[in-house]
């Protein structure tokens, strides 16, 4: 399967929804709710696993998680599109905010929140 950009994915998802007349259901509120459900479905696959087990999923379980990750990306992409948010720009800006909140020399090896530093 060829690599695609977020722009390509957004366009394909717009077409997919339009062909099914689903755009009427894709309000930001509904997309956030669907996104939350899909994230919960990923979590369900990891519930009760040890740290080691969670890093070594059997192939069939990994395939199920892969599909749920796809669902999350689909809903997140649709939400960003509806709100006019460039996801790569948003991530880059948030990474810079986090770089300031969590200076590498102060947080290396620590899981503390920035308010606890």
What is the number of structural domains in the chain? 2
Domain co-membership, 22 together with 73: yes
Domain co-membership, 40 together with 20: yes
Domain co-membership, 112 together with 64: no
- For residue 105, what pLDDT band results from cuts at 50, 70 and 90? very high
pLDDT tens digits, 8-58: 999 999 999 999 999 999 999 999 999 999 999 999 999 999 999 999 999
pLDDT for 104 beyond 80 = yes
Domain co-membership, 60 together with 81: yes
Domain co-membership, 15 together with 68: yes
Identify the CA nearest to 34 among candidates 13, 63, 19.
13
The SS3 call for residue 58 is coil
Domain co-membership, 9 together with 52: yes
């Amino acid at each position: 399967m060829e690599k695609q950009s977020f722009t390509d994915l957004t366009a394909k998802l717009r077409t997919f929804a339009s062909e099914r007349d689903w755009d009427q259901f894709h309000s930001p509120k509904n997309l956030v709710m669907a996104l939350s459900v899909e994230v919960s479905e990923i979590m369900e696959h990891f519930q009760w696993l040890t740290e080691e087990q969670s890093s070594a999923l059997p192939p069939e379980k990994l395939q199920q998680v892969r599909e749920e990750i796809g669902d999350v990306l689909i809903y997140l992409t649709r939400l960003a599109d509806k709100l006019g948010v460039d996801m790569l720009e948003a991530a880059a800006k948030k990474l810079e905010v986090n770089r300031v909140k969590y200076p590498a020399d102060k947080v290396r090896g620590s899981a503390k929140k920035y308010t606890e530093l």
